[in-house]
Amino acid sequence: MKTDAGAVVGQMAVPMLPNDTAAEVFVKALVVADIVLDKSLPAIVGIGGQDGSYLCEILLQNEYTVHGILRPRTTNDYIPIAVSSVLAAAKKNPNKVILHYGDIMDPYFLLGLFKEHAYDEVYHLAAQSHVGTSFKVQLYTCDVNALGTLRLIQTILTLGLEKKTKFYNACSSEMFGQTKNRYQNESTPLAPVSPYAAAKAFSYWITSSARITHGLFAVNGILFNHESPRRGLDFVTRKITFGVAEIHLGLQSCLHLGNLNARRDWGHARDYMRGVLDMMRQDAPDDYVLATGETRSVRDFVEIAFQIVGMQLQWKGSGNEEIGVDSRTGEVRVRIDPDLYRPAEVSYLRGCAEKAAMCLKWQPQVSFEELVKEMVEADKALIQGEPAKFWVTSKL
């Protein structure tokens, strides 16, 4: 619409000079419309996981419409908290979360979806993400984690979207393996030990290759361990906090764990997803490490989790016979289970995120102690039925 002041696009007036022709006004209006009305269209591959659920919420807070890929479920088991969070976000933001059922193992599904929507941003978070499990299902792990990344990149290239679509690939600090470096950063050599880490290393290099050879805006995020109440129950951190909550509430008596001395750099998943968004907002693609710069042992995690519920552990014995005892009551609260040891263990990881701090202005906000407390308190509330209930597949 044209007025004395100019043209109006949506709710924004377009300034008009006295000698502007109608065509010039129209062009100006198109430019403003592109700025005001056209948001990038993102797709989260693996939206039903811990990271995907937080990234979805962050994008919604930035007023995006979010597309997400969910794997179809074949049982009526409960859906993890992360999926529940996505569904809650979808309910709170009508028509702003669009879910697609599919699998990155199916290239025809990917081609059809990307052809229809031509996404501006693709956040690849889908994976077989359990390191211990990867030793038992090596072929599947590599098919999903390595070739799944290649399928997504090849879909973008096949459809000629490499000049339009930005691609984020979720890598892992496990790729550094049995490193001898005190800190690990973007220049640390990759030395994967587990099948999971080897597959992630492939995904790292194939993403870098696409950036170099095809000009794809392709980013590798090398994220050190990041946890939250939305972490799956088969991960050691969540196993600890859920177990401690059950012990506190009198529902079990003892935790069974594997290697207590493995050291990791643990942060909060929400902080790390903020960093991922920052990576994709840069003018040029690059690779970034996200980490807190602090390393803690599994033993440290256990001790703090018990302290949160008022229990002080005292360690007795050694090796497989070591136990953690409640110093007040003498009850055994932690035992070692040799079956929970991995065939090959990465004993030490500690990240250096100086590049992210300098280029992205990124810093973690949640401390290790705050993270553990949030997880324990959330699991206590979950067991007592206070938070949003689990969703069954019929709700999807």
Q: Residue 290: enclosing H or E segment and its boundaries? A: strand 287-290
Both tokens of 113, joined, read: 């979806």
**How many angstroms separate the CA atoms of 219 and 217, rounded?**
7
Pairing of strands 323-326, 313-316: antiparallel
Reading the block at residue 56, the tokens are 């979805």
57, 162, 174, 374: which one is catalytic? 174
Calpha distance 156→178 (Å, rounded): 34
The Cα-based distances of 121 to 68, 108, 164, 196, 310 in angstroms read 12, 20, 8, 25, 46
Question: Any idea which residue has 């070692």 for tokens?
Answer: 336
Show the tokens assigned to 385: 């039925």
Q: Note if 168 is an active site residue.
A: no
For 23, counting Cβ atoms within 10 Å of its Cβ (0-12 exposed, 13-18 middle, 19+ buried), the class is exposed
Read off the amino acid at residue 341.
Y
Residue 266 has what DSSP assignment? -
Helix boundaries (H) for 309-367: 354-359
Computed on alpha carbons and rounded to an integer, the radius of gyration of the chain in Å comes to: 24
Whether 196 is a known active-site residue: answer: yes
From 64, 123, 168, 196, the catalytic residue: 196
Active site residues: 174, 196
